[in-house]
């Protein structure tokens, strides 16, 4: 039963750390860019879009589809970076628990 008590204690500590990590991710901002920086998006670690920045040289009615594609690419870049930050933070929390490599937390 001692092992069960230790496991419960570890689970409780991990839950507290995950709560702290989620709060930190909500405040963490990551910038993604496309078109050599002509379009930039800033999102949080929880994928909330905070800021869009478009170089004025891009604003041309004939190139709207290019602008739309660049915005999508910038968001994808920022999301990838935010996911990497989340993965690093999760590894800090779960590193000593011996969880399977493919297990994704939080559930």
* In a domain? residue 51: yes
The stretches in the chain having pLDDT less than 70 are 1, 96-107
* In a domain? residue 45: yes
* In a domain? residue 93: no
Number of folded domains that form the chain: 1
Q: What is the CATH number of the domain that holds 80?
A: 3.30.1310.10
Could you give the C-alpha distances from 72 to 1, 25, 101, in angstroms and in order? Answer: 53, 22, 30
* In a domain? residue 34: yes
pLDDT at residue 83, rounded to an integer: 87
What mean pLDDT value characterizes the chain?
83
């Amino acid at each position: 039963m001692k092992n069960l008590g230790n496991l419960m204690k570890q689970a409780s500590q991990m839950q507290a750390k995950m709560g702290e990590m989620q709060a930190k991710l909500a405040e963490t901002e990551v910038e993604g860019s496309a078109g050599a920086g002509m379009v930039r998006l800033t999102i949080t670690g929880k994928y909330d879009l905070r800021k869009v920045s478009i170089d004025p040289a891009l604003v041309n009615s004939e190139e709207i589809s290019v602008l739309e594609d660049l915005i999508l690419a910038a968001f994808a870049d920022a999301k990838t970076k935010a996911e990497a930050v989340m993965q690093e933070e999760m590894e800090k929390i779960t590193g000593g628990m011996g969880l399977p490599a493919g297990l994704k937390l939080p559930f």
